[in-house]
Structure 1
Amino acid sequence: MARGQKRNRALVVEAGNALDQWKYEIANEINFPVNQIVGGYWGNIPSAQCGAVGGHMVKRMIEAAERSLVEQSALNVRAGFRAGLGASANLGTTTGAYNLPSGMPAQQNVGQQAGFTTTGLQQ
């Protein structure tokens, strides 16, 4: 391959400029000698140093993909619960009044409403 030709292209063409900018940001973070890069040409820099930049980029991409998978899994679980409980279920927005008889306020002690006393119980 001729000197200076690029053989690796971004799979998403629109992401090419963002990836290139990100490469320079990563290089600055790891104290890479960016002043040695002339006109976007990295060929005069040892491959170990260039590989460190690429390695950090890949590491961050994997972290982002893992976070995305976890978030998507959580959304799918919530959607599954909603579907299983019915469309009217509002997960995460309940007031804590589970299985109360109608007319019984959620703010009051359910045991006391039913006539039970708490005297003599161990705490």
Structure 2
Amino acid sequence: MPEFFHDNKLYYTPIEFALNHIGGTWKMPILWRLQKTILRYGELKKDIPHITHKMLTSQLKELEEKGLITRTVYPVVPPKVEYSITPKGLQAIPVIEHIMKYGYELIKEAGIDYPPKK
């Protein structure tokens, strides 16, 4: 596959380029939660309890810069900010579903009790 540059970064494959948009620990879970509803920052933080405030803020900013989510600020006191998925972000949902299904298959194959019984 031919390599290419985008935003001063060298990419070797389209897979690497796609993962730059949705890869990592937190981007896919954020997109997954926004696929059917608009959420405020606090709602996302509550729904993803292990993410730090700094990481959530940076991941939301990156997703917004890539055009996968929109951030709407309302001029009220206290400030109200909502996040929603864009049509471009919705295109990633089937990919995330396939990765999730593959993850479940790997978990089952490894003999892991998931979800764990409480």
Bigger relative CO (Cα 8 Å, ≥ 6 apart):
2
Q: Greater strand percent: which structure? A: 2
Q: Establish whether TM, by shorter chain, passes 0.5.
A: no
Task: Give TM-score, length-normalised by structure 2.
Answer: 0.31
